[in-house]
Structures are given as structure tokens and as C-alpha cells.
Amino acid sequence: MAEIMSQNEIDSLLNALSSGEVDVEEIKNEEEEKKVVSYDFRSPKKLAKDQLKTLQIIHDNFCRGLNTFLAGYLRSYVHSEVLSVEELSYHEFSNSIANPSVLSIMDFNPLEGQIVMDLSPAVGFAFIDRILGGKGKLFDEKRIFTEIESSLIRKLIKQIMDLLVDPWANVIELSPKLDKIEYNSQFVQIISPNETVALITLAIKIGDVEGMMNICIPHIVIEPILGKLSTKFWFSKISKEITENEKDSLKRNLEKGKLKVSAILGKTEITVKEFIGLQVGDVIKLNNLTKDPIEITVGERNKYYGFPGTMKNKLAIKITEIYREGDENYGRNAFAR
């Protein structure tokens, strides 16, 4: 960032220029020299700022899906957000990992190579505590996971891994697969230490427990799709039209949904004393006449009118009218005899 000069410094500089103490050409040469930026050939920058920004957008969407999934799965308040997206060497990433840690090595199919998802132990133990019915309190003891705990965390990581598919859909159709889980960074060497990686750091909070999740994506893995990792390409794909196949698929999925349908024979009100005194054989008088249609509700809303009967020796309802909400002349009064 350029240094801002005070008014006194500006006045002194103008006086020096007027008296000839300072040469304008020397100032120009100094400014030209400052434009030279040092470059470290040991850690070359392979990812543009635009590509890092796209990775942040992708994982912002991933966080939204993660919050929804974990809140329902763990029955607890869960919040995650992207803290940073940066480029560094794999050596720097591996040296920053605490031991023990939950290190998930994943195949990033159809791309060649693997990525690493690093979950802090505090969050991992909070997950397991909630799964087993606990309150998800902070676990201070430093130890590796037991065989049962490892099985539980592996199942959860697989489901979290599947949440990466939709955020990446505008770039590539992923089919990630969990290869293995390690708890020591020394056993996680998926690429050369000097290789460049993109590191996405997420902050996760579950109840009162806070921790980190790091997603390490080697440059060599995403190199074939770097052209698609630009905000211009990203936003152009967001507004794509829905195809007929997608419409048909959505329609089929909606048709498979189940609805609760109820037929209300009638309603009445009785006192608590009458309710306590009910015996077998007592008759409760309803507000409907036998000739009146009964209400048929879908969920909690009135949808149809019909008459009760039987079909193939089973109770049934014959729909005779459709309830049109807002029609003043439509409803039970329309069936008054």
C-alpha cells in the first residue's frame, strides 16, 4: 500500500524541489524501482485471484448445505462459514496440521488425484457425542478415536463428502469417494511437499464447541478445469435453462411424495364431565346430517367434499366436489337441502 504523506511533508518536498535540493528525475527513478515485485520460484503462484474467488463461492454454497444437513442430522445448532481461501505449498499445509486430527483422503473423481479434508478433533468428538445422544460438549482429552468412534465419524464424513457434489455442479460433475481416514499427518502424503495447493479454511460451530475444517485441493488435481474456475464462467452457468429431462425428473419426484388425506365425518363439543363419563355404546351426536357431504382435508387444509361408502369391502370416500377457497357461494352451504 502506498504511504500517505502529511501536509507538512508535502510542504517540505515542494520547498526542496523549489530550492533544487531534490531532483525530479531521482524521484521518478525511485518510483520505477518500487514497481519491481519479488517472486519466489520455490513457491510459484499458479492460481489467479479470480480462481480463488470462485473456490470461495463454491464452498460458501457448500457451507449452506453443510449447515442444513448437520442441524438435522445432529439435532443441534450448527454454523459453518468460509474463513479464507489461499494458495500455499503442501509442505506448509501438512506442517500446520495438529496431531491427532481427522484427515479424510478422498478421490476427487472424475479428476485424477486426491484431496484432503482436515477436521479438528474437538469438532469430531462433538459430532460423535451428539450422534450417541450427548450434549456435544467440548472434549479436552487428546487421543485418537476408538474403533467405534472411527466407524461413526467415517459414516458422517461420507455424507459430508456427498454435499460437495451440488456446489461443484456448475464446474464439473463430481463423484467423490472416501479412500481412508488417518489421524496422523505423517501418513498423509498425497503429493510432493513442494506442490501448490488451494487451502479452503472453514470455521465450524456446534453448540458451544468451535473448530476448523480445512479442505486441501492440490493444483495438479484441478488443473484440467482451471479454465472453468472463473467468476465469469460461474455466473454464466448459473442462469442456464432447465431442460425437459430435468422437468420430467422433478415431476416424477414430486409425484412420489406422500400426502395425509383425512375425511371428517363431523364435529361436536362435549363437556369434560361428559367425556369422563363416556361408556361403550354411548352415542355422540355430530353436527353433520347423513345427507350432508363430509369435508376431505389434505394436510391441514380443506380440499374436497364427498360421501362415505364402501368399495371391495373397505371403507371409502367418493369425491363429489372440489373446495374452491375464496368463493363465497361455495362450501357447506352449497349442499343445504
126 neighbors 206 (Cβ within 8 angstroms): yes
| Residue after which a domain boundary falls, among 244, 277, 295 | 244
180: which strand partners? 105
Q: How many residues does the chain have?
A: 337
| Residue after which a domain boundary falls, among 185, 212, 244 | 244
Same domain, 195 and 229: yes
Distance from C-alpha of 213 to C-alpha of 57, rounded to nearest angstrom: 16
Phi (first) and psi of residue 84, to 5 degrees: -160, 155
**25 occurs within a structural domain:** no
Is 100's pLDDT higher than 60? yes
88 neighbors 42 (Cβ within 8 angstroms): no
Same domain, 266 and 238: no
**17 occurs within a structural domain:** no
Same domain, 157 and 302: no
292 neighbors 265 (Cβ within 8 angstroms): no
Q: How confident is the model at residue 233 (pLDDT cuts 50, 70, 90)?
A: low
The domain in which residue 71 lies consists of 49-244
Distance of CA 182 to the CA centre of its chain: 24
pLDDT at 31: 52
Same domain, 122 and 193: yes
Same domain, 181 and 239: yes
Is 260's pLDDT higher than 60? yes
The domain spanning residue 130 has which CATH number? 3.40.1550.10
**10 occurs within a structural domain:** no
pLDDT at 194: 84
Helix (H) or strand (E) holding 78: strand 78-89
| Residue after which a domain boundary falls, among 244, 271, 288 | 244
The domain spanning residue 327 has which CATH number? 2.30.330.10
Between 13-22, 56-65, 239-248, 305-314, the lowest mean confidence (pLDDT) is in 13-22
Is 42's pLDDT higher than 60? no
Same domain, 75 and 149: yes
Distance from C-alpha of 120 to C-alpha of 80, rounded to nearest angstrom: 13
Same domain, 116 and 53: yes
CA distances from 318 to 69, 309, 310, 322 (A): 41, 7, 9, 12
256 vs 306, residue with greater confidence: 306
**305 occurs within a structural domain:** yes
DSSP sequence for 193-232 = TTSEEEEEEEEEEETTEEEEEEEEEEHHHHGGGGGG-SHH
Q: Is the pTM of this model over 0.85?
A: no
CA distances from 112 to 192, 220, 312 (A): 15, 8, 60
**321 occurs within a structural domain:** yes
Same domain, 126 and 214: yes
Same domain, 175 and 321: no
**15 occurs within a structural domain:** no
58 neighbors 167 (Cβ within 8 angstroms): yes
Same domain, 80 and 228: yes
25: Cβ contacts below 8 Å, ≥ 6 apart:
none
**27 occurs within a structural domain:** no
**114 occurs within a structural domain:** yes
Q: How confident is the model at residue 188 (pLDDT cuts 50, 70, 90)?
A: confident
Count of structural domains, the chain: 2
Opening angle at CA 312, ends 309 and 313, nearest 5: 70
Alpha helices in the chain (DSSP H): 7-19, 24-34, 49-74, 90-95, 121-131, 147-162, 219-222, 231-238, 244-255, 272-276
102 vs 45, residue with greater confidence: 102
Same domain, 288 and 205: no
Q: Is residue 26 left, alpha or beta, with left meaning phi > 0 and alpha meaning psi from -120 to 50?
A: alpha
Burial class of residue 329 (count of CB atoms within 10 Å of its CB; 0-12, 13-18, 19+)? exposed
Opening angle at CA 140, ends 139 and 141, nearest 5: 100
Same domain, 77 and 146: yes
